[in-house]
Amino acid sequence: MRKLRVLVVLHPDQAPPDSIKGYSEQEAQAWKTGYDVLSTLRAAGHEVKILGVQDELKPIRDEIESWKPNVVFNLLEEFHGEATYDQNVASYLELLRIPYTGCNPRGLMLARGKDLSKKLLSYHRIPVPAFAVFPKQRKIRRPRRLGLPLIVKSLSEDASLGISQASLVDSDEKLAERVTFIHERVGTAAIAEQYIEGRELYVGVLGNDRLRVLPIWELEFGSLAPGSNRIATAKAKFDVKYQERRGILQGPAEELAPELRARIGRITKRICRTLELDGYSRIDFRLSADGIPYFIEANPNPEIAQQDVFAEAAQHDGLAYPAMLHRILALGLRRAQPAG
């Protein structure tokens, strides 16, 4: 790839320090993606500038007009503290006619609404857990069609925000308590889904029109405390000490029949096309005991730090980290080219 001027846009709290010496893995959690992207692209010879963006669009425009980058590497996961506003930043970059990495605004919108994405995919006969949405300031009443147990989540936040062992509820009283927790502590509407007992699978995808499905990855829960349920809590995903203590690992999914792997690959592509995802994304499944891969959620622009699921799956597929970042850049540049 030719040498580029790359403007990396992210939240100020995720801007990496100049040196990583002296930081623990837990302390580096917030900025590890920014550091890995920045250092890898610079090592490849690109001219890279970092811009922290929180609640103003003007700094983006000023930097683009003054520095004239070839492409924006978009690592923003929220704007003005709202996860659903990330689509607006991508729209703004399109209005500025600057190439950018990651998913387009429409794909971000369709994927961020967990209820909307599930309705669309259910229509296309992709297995989806039964669910109900509980808006704020409404009476909490479980629909009769929705059986217990249920797992309660934020309707729009990702990264397992608000998910703990208490998220799995087996009574209407516990459902009301957890929905109220999401309303008050997370600040969003809640969604309650049928709990699928089974394996937690993640599938990364690279591509705009032609999609490359990465090897299926699995979150193995190890030896959880007695009485704990096998769910992907924030602690299980991001607390390094807890992972080490409980033997929680992430790696290639083993013992999947070839026909099941192929089926998951086909479903993954159908999900990406239905939700209009491009650039790079990760699709999360629960594989039930009878071999049904249930769609849980789509994650456009997932974490791409070198030790995260997406990058490790790419590495396992023969795509080294620098090559993966260059592929993401190329997809952003290619999407910006006029058709014909």
pLDDT, one tens digit per residue, over 22-31 is: 787 777 888 9
Which tokens hold the place of 313? Answer: 């799956």
5-102 and 130-194: identical CATH topology: no
Quick one: CA dihedral 31, 94, 67, 53, positive or negative?
A: negative
Burial of 36 (0-12, 13-18, 19+ CB in 10 A): buried
Which tokens hold the place of 61? Answer: 């425009």
The pLDDT of residue 320: 98
The pLDDT of residue 340: 46
Helices 114-123, 105-112: crossing angle, 10 deg rounding: 90
Average pLDDT over all residues of the chain = 92
Domain ranges of the chain: 5-102, 130-194, 198-335
The pLDDT of residue 227: 67
The pLDDT of residue 338: 57
Residue 306 CA from chain centroid, whole number: 15
| CA angle, residues 274, 277, 278, in degrees to nearest 5 | 135
CATH architecture of 130-194: 2-Layer Sandwich (3.30)
266 has a pLDDT exceeding 80: yes
**Residue 172: CA atoms inside 13 Å, Cβ hemisphere, count?**
7
Q: pLDDT by residue (tens digit) across 222-246?
A: 777 776 778 777 677 767 777 777 7
Q: Tell me yes or no: is domain 198-335 CATH 3.30.470.20.
A: yes
CA gap 298, 278 in Å, rounded: 12
The pLDDT of residue 156: 83
Average pLDDT over residues 196-224: 93
Bridge partners of 288, per DSSP, are 198
Give 233 or 97, the one with higher predicted confidence. 97
Beta strands 190-194 and 217-220 are: unpaired
Q: What is the DSSP string of 133-178?
A: EE-TTS-----TT-PSPEEEEESS--TTTT-SGGGEE-SHHHHHHH
From the list 238, 83, 247, the residue with the least C-alpha distance to 164 is: 238
The pLDDT of residue 245: 79
CB < 8 Å & 24+ apart, contacts of 308-312? 308/33, 309/202, 309/204, 309/217, 309/250, 309/282, 310/204, 310/214, 310/280, 310/282, 311/36, 312/217, 312/250, 312/251
Element (H, E) at 118: helix 114-123
CATH number of 5-102: 3.40.50.20
In this structure, the number of other CB atoms found within 10 A of the CB of residue 121 comes to: 20
Q: Is 120 left (phi over 0), alpha (psi -120 to 50) or beta?
A: alpha
160 has a pLDDT exceeding 70: no
